[in-house]
Amino acid sequence: MKKYNVGLVGVGAVGTEMIKVLNERNFPLNGKVQVFASRERDEQILGETYHVLKADENCFKGLDIVLFAGKTDVAIQLKDACVKAGAKMIDNSRAFRQDPEVPLVVPQVNPEDLDWNKGVIANPNCTTAIMLEAVAPLHKAKGLKRVVAATYQAASGAGQPGLNELEDQIRAYAKGEALEVKAFQHQLMYNLIPHIDKFNEENWYTLEELKMLNESRKMLHHPTLKLSCTCVRVPIARAHSESLNLEFENEITPADAREILSKCEGVRVVDDPLNGGYPMPLDATAKYDVLAGRIRQDISRDDKKGLEMFVSGDQLLRGAALNAVEIAEHLIKRGLV
């Protein structure tokens, strides 16, 4: 089996998770992942020492695939150098998600879009990725028309600083100390914050909410899809949850949805509410699959074209690191690297 030289830009929460996933899935690595960051240093990652090199325009020579888990401006700065070096760039930032020249991919949703890549593939926003794992199969079967969503997004969505802040607030509260607020707009412990990313002052949706609309339209090749979303930060360490009201062109029953989803890679139906069986972030944490449940007919409608559904998925894993590694796997499978 051919081995591949893989690089990683960024060693935060997502970058660390990417290394973990590469190892778990026995990705055909040619030696260790070469890690890049803002400065050269030795760093302990998952109990192993990595010699981290400075990320610059000259660092990608000899690499086949480079996973980007850093900031948007770094991805923009280094894109041309990565492509020129002949490496496939898989970027987790927002930099290229709406670029018409860059495929935006969840492998279980639209792997065929990898075929027209020009060296760069974008990883979607984790909230969109988790939703589409469960919604795309239903769309393919019944024709999705409209989505109304409310998200319950974990502290991990703000990276390691967000995780640390929630944990620090819990510890401080237990000791009777003052709670420090830095990573979020307000105290997160014992609170919900209906504010993720910047507000668009034209319509007062946040950029996070608009990503859900624009990224879903692009990946589903569905430019007329209607989607309205309210994104909420919740005091959960990791794993996002979403309440979804779905409207379809054709009739669909809860039994239809369960049957469709039960056959899908990347989704596990957890829908036994009388016995406490429904998706929860605690159960989705550190799991590859998106959990889908609370599937029921929308009783506000007079037809059978509406469903309610609740999903949970690990934001760092399913929504980011795993998706990026699966993109790399599919590039190899399709002979594109």
Q: Are strands 34-37 and 6-9 parallel, antiparallel or unpaired?
A: parallel
Residue with tokens 């624009």, as numbered in its chain:
214
Task: Respond yes or no: is residue 240 known to be catalytic.
Answer: yes
φ, ψ for residue 43 (rounded to 5)?
-140, 140
Q: Is 195 a catalytic residue?
A: no
Q: CA torsion, points 131, 317, 94, 139, in degrees to nearest 10?
A: -20
Q: Which residues of 322-336 are buried (b: 16+ CB within 10 A; e: fewer)?
A: bbbbbbbebbbeeee
Which ranges of the chain does DSSP label H, i.e. alpha helix? 13-24, 72-84, 126-142, 159-175, 207-220, 254-262, 281-284, 322-333
| Catalytic position from the list 126, 229, 231, 264 | 126
Rg for the chain (alpha carbons), in Å? 20
Choosing from 139, 229, 231, 240, the catalytic residue is 240
Residue for token pair 């996002």: 240
User: How long a stretch of residues is the chain?
Assistant: 337
Tell me the C-alpha distance between 255 and 277, whole Å: 16
Tracing tokens 């400075």 back to the chain, one arrives at 54
Residue given tokens 């709670």 in the structure block:
179
Q: What is the DSSP string of 267-335?
A: EEE--BGGGTBS--HHHHTT-SSEEEEEEEE-TTSSSS-EEEEEEEE-TTIIIIIHHHHHHHHHHHHTT
Residues belonging to the active site:
126, 240
